[in-house]
Amino acid sequence: MENSFVIGVDFGTDSVRALVVHTQTGQEAGSAVHYYPRWQKGLYCDPATQQYRQHPLDYLEGLEHSIREALQQCPAGTAALVKGIAVDTTGSTPGPVDETGTPLALLPGFEENPNAMFVLWKDHTANKEAALINDIAHSNGMDYTQYSGGIYSSEWYWAKILHVITEDGAVREKAASWVEHCDWIPAVLTGNNSMDTLLRSRCAAGHKAMWHASWGGLPPKTFLEKLSPALTRYDQTYTDTVDATVPAGTISKEWAAKLGLPEDVVIGTGAFDAHMGAVGGGIQSYALCKVIGTSTCDILVAPMEEAGHLFVKGICGQVDGSVIPGMLGLEAGQSAYGDVFAWLRKLIMGPLYALMPDDKEKLAEVEGKLLAYLSQQAQQLPLKDNDPLALDWFNGRRTPDANHTLKSTITGLHLGIDAIQLFKALVEATAFGAQSIAARFQQEGIAINEVIALGGVAKKSGYAMQVLADVMNRPIRIVNSENACALGAAMFAAVAAGIYPDIDQAQKAMTSGFETTWQPRQENVPYYAARYRKFQELGAITEKLHV
């Protein structure tokens, strides 16, 4: 199909982006972003308790608006040439649904109930439930966390469900099942309102729901009953999962009309944003792909025959086909990256907004320049052994060894420390956290041949990427596309629609390549190696104090 297009839809933490891509060249014909209005208002969230919920209407409205606006940017006639749509979402972001797959928050009586909404990936209200899952899994005889790094996280599927149904009896009784965001959107687009035919993502189920073929799919009811008898009342008995190249069906007449698309558009199966983003970024065997945003997800793929026998401890799972069919997909990451710098920005600017309410426009202009200014100044600082040192655990620790009850520690503060030096410490903390992930992979027998970075921070913060290269003592290749996650989704759409036979061929045709490579400065490597050892020591001390 020489003149055909596909659409990749990337549901992020704050917004959804739609990208219209030419299937033969990978050229971006149009893109649009829709920011979730309810999320922007802070509705249904409580940062103090780490509760982060999202209303399904934000997703539905964003899906329609972003695709329509992206198509409006394209040359006339493009919509008629669209052959496929695929979506990626944050995860684990599950929500309770009724028998028809409708999220409870769309039903009367549940519209404003946060427990009836999708539980965002960064919601950590289920720390206690995650601890219970680990206790039972590790004393059960069969350890159902063994393919999930050996530690189940409060960011994941079962912990979140268990927390909500324990807290909210109305949701517990009304829900017929729970569905990941990445599984729900394809069902919406195809008009599928039957839980019996809803396809479950291998990516989501394998990494977050303890699904594995060796024990027949999900953990058995005997295990779930030990967590809570209420868990066994839901339709959570599916055994089959699909990789993201499998079509979910064709677009429904309703959504074809809404979007102005042909009625034969193929809808792909969904997956998590970082996994599709890694594909959009050009991931190959043993390349560590860092998808950097509010948090990071670190994705690596390896041939099953070389790495399938390993149990990599302390990561976010290893799943056959979760990234590329036929390859072992491994996931790790940091719970806070961009969020760390957003915290510092708020720390500096928050009081000013409160004290100068009439100058919000001017303050917003200053705020927009703040991080660039701090980066420029920080890179001119001399490197001193007694500089402030920080841990990157501002939102807990995702990997290695998930523990979302941990908090950050900053040491070395004195009256001579200013915002620039503190910013330097935070940049270094994120780089040290990244190095700890790479070290764990290597300790567990997984080689890393190259490091790829993508996302807004990777493209915009040269200082952070240079420090990352120095700390890891590796070149960091920066993906050219600003929309790598949506581009990856578009590649999967092209395969699902039959335009390409596999992801390898889609990548070769549609890849954006790399814009630059940050080389480690060898004169700085010993300094950062010594600082990294101090980072590890500070982490060990902080964990002991926490206990």
Domain segments of the chain: what residues? 5-281+481-512, 338-479+515-546
Rounded Cα–Cα distance for residues 329 and 203 (Å) = 9
pLDDT cut 90: percent of the chain above it: 95
438 has a pLDDT exceeding 90: yes
Query: CA 385 → CA 91, 322, 415, 533, 534, distances in Å?
Result: 39, 42, 17, 12, 10
Predicted TM-score (pTM) of this structure: 0.94
Report pLDDT digits (tens) over 392-432.
999 999 999 999 999 999 999 999 999 999 999 999 999 99
* β-pair type (118-119, 296-303): unpaired
Rounded Cα–Cα distance for residues 348 and 285 (Å) = 42
pLDDT bin (cut points 50, 70, 90) of residue 516 is very high
Rounded Cα–Cα distance for residues 148 and 193 (Å) = 30
| CB environment 337-357: b (16+ within 10 A), e (fewer) | bbbbbeebbeebeeeeeeeee
What is the pLDDT, as a whole number, of residue 2?
72
Query: CA 30 → CA 9, 24, 87, 262, 268, distances in Å?
Result: 12, 15, 16, 18, 20
Query: What mean pLDDT do residues 331-355 have?
Result: 96
Same fold, 5-281+481-512 and 338-479+515-546: yes
Region 338-479+515-546: CATH code: 3.30.420.40
Rounded Cα–Cα distance for residues 437 and 114 (Å) = 33
Helix (H, G, I), strand (E, B) or coil at 6: strand
Rounded Cα–Cα distance for residues 447 and 476 (Å) = 16
Query: What mean pLDDT do residues 43-47 have?
Result: 95
CA angle 202, 399, 91 (to 5 degrees): 35
Instruction: Give the least confident one: 313-317, 362-366, 395-399, 455-459.
Output: 455-459
What is the pLDDT, as a whole number, of residue 171?
98
236 has a pLDDT exceeding 70: no
What is the average pLDDT value for the chain, to the nearest integer? 96
What CATH superfamily classification does 5-281+481-512 receive? Answer: ATPase, nucleotide binding domain (3.30.420.40)
